[in-house]
Amino acid sequence: MEEAIAKAGALIEAMEYIRNFRGRIVVVKLGGSVLDDAQLERKLLTDVAFMNTVGMQPIVVHGGGKAINRAMNDGGLEPVWVQGRRYTDEPTLTIVEHTLVHKVNAPICETLTELGCEPMGLHSLGSCVLFAETLRLAGENGRKLDLGLVGQVVGVNAGLLKTLCEAGTIPVIATVAQDNRGGKLNVNADSAAGKVAAAVCAEKLVVVSDTHGILRDLKDPASRVSSADETQIKEMIDSGIITDAMFPKVEACLTALEGGVRKAHIIDGRIPHSLLLEIYTDKGIGTQIIKSGDRRKTTADRRKTKDRRRS
């Protein structure tokens, strides 16, 4: 009986969030170990299916770095990294595209279909919604570093994404983009997710990662930053708290907020139902990032921010 009452209580707690987020777009970026564990991936996609069932409009953006590394090794290619980004020549791009489309995107769509949803894979071998230009990073002495066929997203087919969402379809986006000449470019999945969220004016961007969120001390999970605004995030970047693998995730969140997204979240996908816990409960389990001085909050959001500051 107590267990049943607890479940009912959880549903009541979620009710206000469900009501407030009905009909709103939420962009979910999947990556890291989530995509390497079939059971973990299915649990997260079950959360996405729940969101879709109760009236939210999820968009999934995914990477697949570890799967690409394995495919390159199988093909006898050694990955080359330039400032943390994969140097991409033609053979590498062929592997990246094949892996993302056939080994990652297709299984995600198959699982969502099994869960009763109607997904649509959007990628460079079909309907591509990402458009990019060649990325050049700054090197020493002002020289530009050549990354090969690596791009930065400069355009998103937001109209198609919104149309699919309104029809109840879940867009699933693989992160190879088209350039203005019809060529293809490998783009960072975190950055792409931030651009997508901004383009569709999403309610939220949720970056699913392998960490509990932003930690003030990487060796102490209890040092998680529960809630921060843009100003605080930039201070943590300047002070060196946010570095390395966390930086592109935070950068994607800031891109989304600058584009009008109300909130961005970084959560640990290894925690069961982390996606639902972050969106549909008062305290959440990851790090939420909001615009500095933003006062546009629903009743549920105000309670959530208040509870997070207490924790």
User: Would you list the DSSP string of 66-102?
Assistant: HHHHHHHHHTT----EETTEE-B-HHHHHHHHHIIII
Query: Would you write out the chain's pLDDT as a tens digit for each of its 311 residues?
Result: 666 666 676 677 777 878 888 999 999 999 878 888 899 999 999 999 999 999 999 999 999 989 999 999 999 999 888 877 899 999 999 999 999 999 999 999 999 999 999 999 999 999 999 999 999 887 767 677 889 999 999 999 999 999 999 999 999 999 999 999 989 999 999 999 999 999 999 999 999 988 778 888 777 878 888 889 999 999 999 888 888 778 889 999 999 999 999 999 999 988 888 898 888 776 678 899 998 876 444 434 434 444 443 33
Question: Could you report how far apart the first and last alpha carbons of the chain are, in Å?
Answer: 29
- Return the amino acid letter for 244: D
CATH number for the 21-310 domain, one of 3.40.1160.10, 3.30.1330.10, 3.10.50.40, 3.90.1300.10? Answer: 3.40.1160.10
Q: Contact 123/61 with Cβ under 8 angstroms?
A: no
pLDDT at 101: 97
The angle subtended at Cα 169 by Cα 166 and Cα 170, nearest 5°, is 115
pTM (two decimals) = 0.89
Q: Where are the domains of the chain?
A: 21-310
The angle subtended at Cα 31 by Cα 243 and Cα 51, nearest 5°, is 120
Q: Contact 83/144 with Cβ under 8 angstroms?
A: no
What Cα–Cα distance (Å) separates residue 1 from each residue in 10, 13, 15, 82? 14, 18, 21, 57
Q: How many whole angstroms separate alpha carbon 268 and alpha carbon 271?
A: 6
pLDDT at 276: 87
pLDDT at 299: 38
pLDDT at 13: 74
What Cα–Cα distance (Å) separates residue 109 from each residue in 21, 44, 113, 230? 23, 13, 6, 34
pLDDT at 216: 86
pLDDT at 47: 95
Q: How many whole angstroms separate alpha carbon 161 and alpha carbon 108?
A: 17
